[in-house]
């Protein structure tokens, strides 16, 4: 199992004039430390309008800064949003290719569609069309990378014959991943031959394994991948804090580990009311109704740190305790563990400590 630093780039209130500057400066320093201490990769989200939760709206600029200051750590789009008008497929192909060249072939590209009212409504996207746009865009991106000249006439995008340039360094193209939360989505991503980004925080490894098994059944049967090759890899993400002393780790983690799952669930649950206002079914976003129901019942407010630790649904504690927790993810079939080291307002110093301790005492235990 490999390990990646994973970032939303939260900026908690109250905001000062330099709050976002400090957040990005800290993230850059932490990514450089990850490269130094042996982490395999650095991934971020792409989110829009999610105040406090994520101020990471234009991550490819950040990736370029990290690429210029690191030597070996891979850079992952976790994920690039596919529906129009978030990102045109040609612009995505160009952006990823430039980063791949400048980084010396260190890029992985995850593709997603977003799942919050703030983002979909903000960009005028019909939720019922988002999955179709997601899949069509991936096909166009692959065509841009793998053909000297390409043209396409799809439902959502059309382009006459052009040479999309530059081409990526990795051949035939950087590894492709797809993000999902639902069981149905795990099967679809496997059927398309994409790597899996199983995105649901607060799940115990036993539930992660169940979802990965759905993916594996589908990907092992894939004969016509949407990319040029089948990327049979499974990633999931979890919150992670490591400290010399368990009490210190708990003190560092409590507020952020309890805040993040609630904030994320409520952002997704917001789709339920919006679709009701539109007199439309949730369709492929049906899981938003489950989150809304749990919130209405007050269950989200009952999610305490002790629940996460008792169910092994986070990485928390001393290096030895973190090793034990990581083993459970490895046994669940996770190939890449995305570690969210600052879900909300964990101090830069505590994050740097996690990066160093896991890099020097945890990650080496998972090397063959």
Please choose, from the candidates 314, 319, 344, the residue with its C-alpha nearest in 3D space to the C-alpha of residue 237. Answer: 314
Residue 304 has pLDDT above 80, yes or no: yes
The whole-number pLDDT of residue 255 equals 97
Whole-angstrom distance, CA of residue 102 vs CA of residue 93 = 14
pLDDT confidence of 299, banded at 50, 70, 90?
A: confident
The whole-number pLDDT of residue 62 equals 98
- Summarised one tens digit per residue, pLDDT across range 241-265 is 999 999 999 999 999 999 999 999 9
Residue 52 has pLDDT above 90, yes or no: yes
Q: Which of 15-19, 209-213, 218-222, 307-311 is predicted least confidently?
A: 307-311
- Summarised one tens digit per residue, pLDDT across range 68-102 is 999 999 999 999 999 999 999 999 999 999 999 99
Are the C-beta atoms of 109 and 195 separated by less than 8 Å? no
Q: What does the DSSP assignment read for 131-180?
A: HHHHHHHHHHHHHHHH-SSEEEE-SS-EEEEE---PPPSSSS---EEEEE
pLDDT confidence of 303, banded at 50, 70, 90?
A: confident
Whole-angstrom distance, CA of residue 50 vs CA of residue 62 = 18
pLDDT confidence of 33, banded at 50, 70, 90?
A: very high
- Summarised one tens digit per residue, pLDDT across range 106-158 is 999 999 999 999 999 999 999 999 999 999 999 999 999 999 999 999 999 99
Average pLDDT, the chain: 97
Are the C-beta atoms of 322 and 316 separated by less than 8 Å? yes
Query: For the residues 304-327, what does the mean pLDDT come to?
Result: 96
pLDDT confidence of 55, banded at 50, 70, 90?
A: very high
Beta-carbon neighbour count of residue 59 at 10 Å? 24
The whole-number pLDDT of residue 256 equals 98
pLDDT confidence of 11, banded at 50, 70, 90?
A: very high
The whole-number pLDDT of residue 302 equals 81
Q: Return all residues near 192 (Cβ < 8 A) that are at least 6 apart.
A: 135, 138, 178, 222, 225, 226
Helix (H, G, I), strand (E, B) or coil at 112: strand
The whole-number pLDDT of residue 34 equals 98
Are the C-beta atoms of 346 and 24 separated by less than 8 Å? no
Residue 202 has pLDDT above 90, yes or no: no
Tell me, yes or no, if the pTM score tops 0.95: yes
Please choose, from the candidates 154, 158, 165, 86, the residue with its C-alpha nearest in 3D space to the C-alpha of residue 120. Answer: 86
Are the C-beta atoms of 245 and 308 separated by less than 8 Å? no
Q: Checking DSSP bridges between strand 234-242 and strand 41-44, what pairing results, if any?
A: unpaired
Long-range contacts of 312-315 (CB under 8 A, 24+ apart): 312/204, 312/205, 313/201, 313/202, 313/203, 313/204, 313/205, 313/238, 314/202, 314/238, 314/239, 314/240, 314/253, 314/257, 315/238, 315/239, 315/240, 315/241, 315/242, 315/339
The whole-number pLDDT of residue 170 equals 98
Residue 368 has pLDDT above 80, yes or no: no
Q: Return all residues near 200 (Cβ < 8 A) that are at least 6 apart.
A: 181, 211, 236
Q: Return all residues near 182 (Cβ < 8 A) that are at least 6 apart.
A: 284, 286, 287
Whole-angstrom distance, CA of residue 225 vs CA of residue 244 = 45
The whole-number pLDDT of residue 110 equals 98
Whole-angstrom distance, CA of residue 45 vs CA of residue 27 = 13
CA triple 214-220-226, angle to 5 deg: 95
Whole-angstrom distance, CA of residue 168 vs CA of residue 326 = 33
Residue 306 has pLDDT above 80, yes or no: yes
Rounded alpha-carbon distances, angstroms, from residue 334 to 57, 200, 207, 324:
27, 14, 12, 14
Please choose, from the candidates 107, 105, 114, 115, the residue with its C-alpha nearest in 3D space to the C-alpha of residue 137. Answer: 114
In percent, the amount of the chain with pLDDT more than 90 equals 96
- Summarised one tens digit per residue, pLDDT across range 268-297 is 999 999 999 999 999 999 999 999 998 899
The whole-number pLDDT of residue 300 equals 87
The whole-number pLDDT of residue 301 equals 86
């Amino acid at each position: 199992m490999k390990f990646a630093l994973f970032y939303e780039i939260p900026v908690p209130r109250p905001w000062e004039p330099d709050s976002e500057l400090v957040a990005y400066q800290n993230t850059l320093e932490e990514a450089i430390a990850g490269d130094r201490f042996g982490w395999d990769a650095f991934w971020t989200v792409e989110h829009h309008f999610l105040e406090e939760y994520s101020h990471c709206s234009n991550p490819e600029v950040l990736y370029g800064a990290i690429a210029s200051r690191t030597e070996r750590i891979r850079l992952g789009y976790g994920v690039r949003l596919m529906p129009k008008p978030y990102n045109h497929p040609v612009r995505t192909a160009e952006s990823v290719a430039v980063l791949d060249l400048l980084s010396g072939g260190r890029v992985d590209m995850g593709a997603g569609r977003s799942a919050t009212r703030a983002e979909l409504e903000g960009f005028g996207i019909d939720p019922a069309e988002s999955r179709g746009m997601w899949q069509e865009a991936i096909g166009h991106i692959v065509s841009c990378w793998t053909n000297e000249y390409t043209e396409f006439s799809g439902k959502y995008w059309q382009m006459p014959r052009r040479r999309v340039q530059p081409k990526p360094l990795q051949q035939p193209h950087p590894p492709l991943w797809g993000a999902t939360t639902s069981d149905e989505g795990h099967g679809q991503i496997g059927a398309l031959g994409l790597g899996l980004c199983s995105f649901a925080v607060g799940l115990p490894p036993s539930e992660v394994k169940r979802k990965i098994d759905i993916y594996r059944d589908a990907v092992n049967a894939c004969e016509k991948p949407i990319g040029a090759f089948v990327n049979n890899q499974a990633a999931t993400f979890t919150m992670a804090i490591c400290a010399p002393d368990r009490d210190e780790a708990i003190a560092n983690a409590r507020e952020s580990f309890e805040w993040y799952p609630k904030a994320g669930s409520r952002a997704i649950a917001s789709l339920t009311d919006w679709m009701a206002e539109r007199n439309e079914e949730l369709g492929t976003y049906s899981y938003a109704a489950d989150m809304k129901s749990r919130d209405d019942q007050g269950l989200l407010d009952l999610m305490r740190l002790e629940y996460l630790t008792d169910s092994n649904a986070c990485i928390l504690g001393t290096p030895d305790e973190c090793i034990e927790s990581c083993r459970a993810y490895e046994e669940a079939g996770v190939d890449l563990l995305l570690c969210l080291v600052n879900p909300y307002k964990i101090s830069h110093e505590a994050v740097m400590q996690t990066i160093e301790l896991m890099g020097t005492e945890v990650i080496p235990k998972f090397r063959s």
